[in-house]
Amino acid sequence: MTVYFFLQQQVNNREMIKSLREMVEKVLSFKRKRRIAVAWAHDPNTVGAISKAVNEGFAEAIMIGRSAEIVKTCRSQGVDEKAFHIVVADNEADASARAVSLTREGEADVVMKGLVGTDKFLKAIMDRENGIMKPDAVLTYVGALEIPAYHKLLFISDPAVIPFPNLDQKIAMAGYAIEMAARFGVAKPKVALIGASEKMSRHFENSVDYAIMCKMAERGQIKNCIMDGPLDLFLACDKKSIEIKGVPTPVDGDADILLFPSLESCNPFYKGLMLFAQAELAGLIRGTDKPVVLMSRSESELSKYYCIALSCLMA
């Protein structure tokens, strides 16, 4: 039994994706191309990222916007615009609607935000009649962070969509993150419900939600995970802190997923890591029929490239 367990662990370790580059290699192994509809595809980082994905062979690009600007941007980046299919749109809202429409009609597999404002882009995604949001779904964001100082990928939610998630939204966020982690080969991720302290307190409203979620996970209502919280970041991600603080937790300083209590806590967390710790992020909007790539207009070409690869993994 011990030998079998050891061999099974070796198999599981080989299957687990431990870096964003390994994620790309996994996508390449599928040997298929996903069609990416890019709304308002005028910015250099988006053009560079989608060109890299096309050249590597796992994506095809539908670039939507003002054709002259798309061609100008391509040439400024040394990219051959003939590698893309260009669809003309007069403004940001029109470009977003066309990208969503192409996806609804099966002409594209992924919708991606280009230089368009987030509000206009999400309005097209969430349109009741013509959007691609699943009925009664929670729209949220899940990202995979590669941090040089951490020994594996770290999934986070929600840095982009829900300002202050309620209990139902937190449950949905956890479910989406668990689902994404499974695509990376993490069969039973450790989910840390993040707070300023590990202590339950009436001063922190999230404590009650976290207690309910932990009981749900214990009873199998939130499936395929090990969950605990509230936990601070040290207890979630640093084994030495478990010994120092003497706080037993099944997450054991080895979290796969961090679920934050607010956008205002999660967003600065990941941006700080990207700015000061050379982290990279691949993330997607969840709660939609097809993958949606939404990145800040100032995000790096590499992060946008990783988001495209993630969309192809999840499609």
pLDDT tens for each residue of 140-159: 999 999 999 999 999 999 99
In whole angstroms, give the CA distance from residue 311 to residue 153. Answer: 16
In whole angstroms, give the CA distance from residue 111 to residue 61. Answer: 10
CB 257 within 8 A of CB 189: yes
The one-character DSSP state at 130 is: T
Please report, as a single letter, which amino acid is at residue 10: Q
State mean pLDDT over 116-123: 92
CB 269 within 8 A of CB 89: no
Fold agreement (32-133+288-315, 140-283) = no
The whole-number pLDDT of residue 116 equals 93
Residue 292: C-alpha distances to residues 13, 96, 220, 235 (Å):
29, 12, 29, 32
Alpha helices in the chain (DSSP H): 2-15, 20-29, 44-56, 67-76, 92-104, 118-126, 167-183, 206-218, 233-237, 239-245, 263-276, 301-314
Assigned token pair, 31: 């040997």
Q: What are the sequence ranges of the domains in the chain? A: 32-133+288-315, 140-283
Per DSSP bridges, beta strands 59-65 and 190-194 are unpaired
The whole-number pLDDT of residue 163 equals 96
The whole-number pLDDT of residue 2 equals 42
Q: How many helices (H) and strands (E) does the chain have?
A: 12, 11
How many Cβ atoms from other residues are within 10 Å of residue 183's Cβ? 14
pTM value?
0.91
Find tokens 């991606």 and name the residue: 112
The one-character DSSP state at 149 is: T
**Strand extents, DSSP E, 95-219:** 110-113, 140-146, 154-157, 190-194
pLDDT > 90 in the chain, percent: 87
Per DSSP bridges, beta strands 190-194 and 226-231 are parallel
User: Looking at domain 140-283, what is its CATH homologous superfamily?
Assistant: Isopropylmalate Dehydrogenase (3.40.718.10)
In whole angstroms, give the CA distance from residue 39 to residue 49. Answer: 14
Confidence of residue 6 (pLDDT cuts 50, 70, 90): very low
Domain 32-133+288-315 -> CATH class:
alpha beta
The whole-number pLDDT of residue 216 equals 97
